Amino acid sequence: MTNKQQHSSRTIMTITIAVAAVLVVIVWPLSMMGKGDVAASASDDAELRIQPVARVEMQKAVVKSDGKPRDGATIYNTVCTACHATGVAGAPKTGDKAAWAPRIATGNAALLMSATNGKNAMPARGGAADLSDAELKAAVDYLVGKAK
């Protein structure tokens, strides 16, 4: 390569980099403008899609309380079974002693606390906000009883 050729190829490279920089800094943000709303609603959709399947289905299944407290088995069968029967999202499976033993070892109060406030993928009150404290406790006792 002659000096002149070297010089011109360096010029071409410099121009290429400059153009790329302009594209990234100016054109790309411009092309994103006005897409803000689309992006936001797309992420809402994504959130809906990654929700535990059960949370959506459960809402149909929950038996509305008619004033009388529901017993643990009823609540388990309408709310908790959605995840705990199959172990969805890492839920300890109903009756799986090995999965429950370390949790049971933390004590009933701790388990009830997790069930009340939620824990990781476990929604507060299993996602059924209308459960009374007594109903929730009955459901926890029922679930724990199955694994003893």
Q: Which of 65, 74, 77, 114 binds ligand HEC (CB under 6 A)?
A: 114
Q: Which of 36, 43, 98, 119 binds ligand HEC (CB under 6 A)?
A: 119
Any idea what DSSP says for residue 130? T
Residue 77 CA: distances (Å) to CA of 19, 88, 116, 126, 143: 63, 15, 18, 12, 10
In this structure, are residues 132 and 100 in contact, taking their beta carbons and an 8 Å threshold? no
CA–centroid distance for 73 within its chain: 26
Find out whether 84 and 78 touch, Cβ atoms under 8 Å. no
| Residue 76 DSSP one-character state | I
Looking at 70, 94, 143, 147, which residue binds ligand HEC (CB under 6 A)? 143
Q: Measured from the CB of residue 66, what is the shortest distance to ligand HEC in angstroms?
A: 18
Contact call for residue 5 and ligand HEC (CB under 6 A): no
Q: How big is the chain by its Cα radius of gyration, in Å?
A: 28
Query: x-or-dash pattern for ligand HEC, window 14-43, by CB under 6 A?
Result: ------------------------------
Residue 123 binds ligand HEC (CB under 6 A): yes
Which residues make up the interface to ligand HEC (CB under 6 A)? 52, 54-55, 58, 75, 79-80, 82-84, 88-92, 103, 110-111, 114-115, 119-123, 125-128, 136, 139-140, 143
